[in-house]
Amino acid sequence: MFSERVQKMIADGISYPLAKKSETEDKEYVKMCSNENPYGPSPRAMEAVKEAASDIEKYPKSGSLKLKKAISDYAGVEYSQVCVGNGSDEIMDLLEKATMDPGDEALIPIPTFSQYELSCRANAMSTKFVELGNFEWDADKLVEEIESSKIAFLGRPNNPTGNSINRDGLKDLLETGKIIVVDEAYAEFSEESVIDLVDEYENLVVLRTFSKMFGLAGLRIGYGLANEKLVEGVERVRPPFSVNKLAQSAAVEALKDEEFVEKTKTKISSGRSYLEEELKDLGFEVLPSKANFIMTSPAPIGFDSSKVCEYLSREKGILIRDLSGFRGISSDWVRITVGKPKQNKRLIKGLKELKEVENDD
């Protein structure tokens, strides 16, 4: 019934690692596991959704022309360098369909976003994993390892580590001529981007999303920036109406609301600093992050990730991400999404109580 590649994915147990219990219980949880924006979308985006909803009997604009123009203005690129998709996941999938053949190899530094592997395997590609030693980026090693690959996927900032390959290292990779996909899903939080390199390198593809900073995860919309030829290839294989009308309208207005974005950025930055300091005070190991999440380990105080996640879920109704299912990570690490101040304090309080309970025992 299934293709060989899907049979292999099933046999290997390959699937997206959702947070436990998030889909299986009716209980109201505080979600600090999926890197969503706790402040939600811009009011302007919400109004745009309401207006567009009155016209949903008609198909959306297949070319997303208005949105592409808004993105080109926002990102400082040519209109012809923009492609839009049903989440950046779709852009990734379409790019592989347009440029890769079955059996072609993708280089994936790990640990990283699981969808890179899933997308490659669904498109009958092979994957080559290169572990980030101590979760740090080694561009020289990646340049050496990429020789047999046709494409590479890099998170910048990387999920879940929160750090990035530096610009010089990225340029070294681009000089190999391989297609380099830089996923900037969290770029608005980091204030760092390589979009300016799109004109310089024909093999660079930058992915962006409206799911994180812009709070539109439920509408599923993202975009890619690349040279005109690559964009044309993606458009050739894209379904005609893959980006819905509500998402297009909301995204256009979200890009315009600069004040909302700046306020959100400030709040997330403050919350991240609070969590980093409190986690360190508790004895956790904390990796520096430029995103809206923190990768941290309770191992220094004698806990593993499953113990922490289960306690928070069961006793406190808080979901964080157990990273033991990520390639390249042991059972010692978790990822925590920065929440609102009350959520952050509730999390820290829960962890303090867990530590006290264990110490009493």
Q: What is 284-315 written as a DSSP string?
A: -EE---SSSEEEEE-GGGT--HHHHHHHIIII
Model confidence at 263: pLDDT above 80: yes
Looking at residue 26, its pLDDT comes to 53
The answer to whether residue 1 scores a pLDDT higher than 90 is no
Q: Are 251 and 45 in contact (CB under 8 A)?
A: yes
Cα–Cα nearest to 156, from 181, 183, 116: 183
How confident is the prediction for the chain on average, in pLDDT? 93
**pLDDT at site 17:** 65
Predicted confidence (pLDDT) at residue 80 exceeds the cutoff of 90: yes
| pLDDT at residue 191, as a whole number | 86
Q: Which of 7-11, 230-234, 294-298 comes out lowest in average pLDDT?
A: 7-11
What does the pLDDT look like over 51-63, one tens digit per residue?
999 999 999 988 8
Residues 24-41, mean pLDDT to the nearest whole number: 86
What is the tens place of the pLDDT at every residue in 233-255?
Answer: 999 999 989 999 999 999 999 99
pLDDT digits (tens, 9 = 90+) for 147-193: 999 999 999 999 999 999 999 999 999 999 999 999 999 999 998 99
Architecture in CATH for domain 4-40+259-360: Alpha-Beta Complex (3.90)
Distant-in-sequence contacts of 69-75, Cβ < 8 A, 24+ apart: 70/251, 70/252, 70/255, 70/256, 71/208, 71/223, 71/225, 71/255, 73/255, 74/255, 75/195, 75/208, 75/225
Residue range 195-199: mean pLDDT, rounded: 97
ω into residue 111 within 30 of 0, thus cis?
yes
Residue 21 pLDDT greater than 60, yes or no? no
Tell me, what amino acid is at 65? L
Crossing angle (nearest 10°) for helices 88-99 and 115-122: 40
Q: Report pLDDT digits (tens) over 272-325.
A: 999 999 999 999 999 999 999 999 999 999 999 999 999 999 999 999 999 998
Pairing of strands 321-322, 334-337: antiparallel
How many Å apart are CA 16 and CA 62, to the nearest integer? 29
More confident residue, 223 or 63: 223
Q: Is the pLDDT of residue 108 over 90?
A: yes
**What pLDDT shows up at residue 11?**
73
Fold matches, 4-40+259-360 and 43-257: no
CATH number of 43-257: 3.40.640.10
pLDDT interval class at 229 (50, 70, 90): very high
Tell me the per-residue pLDDT of 89-101, one tens digit each, with 9 for 90 and over. 999 999 999 999 9
Confidence of residue 25 (pLDDT cuts 50, 70, 90): low
- Is there a contact between 173 and 146 (Cβ–Cβ < 8 Å)? yes
pLDDT of residue 357: 80
| Mean pLDDT calculated for residue range 8-15 | 69
Q: Domain extents for the chain?
A: 4-40+259-360, 43-257
- Residue 361 confidence (pLDDT): 60
Q: How does residue 27 score in pLDDT terms, banded at 50, 70 and 90?
A: low
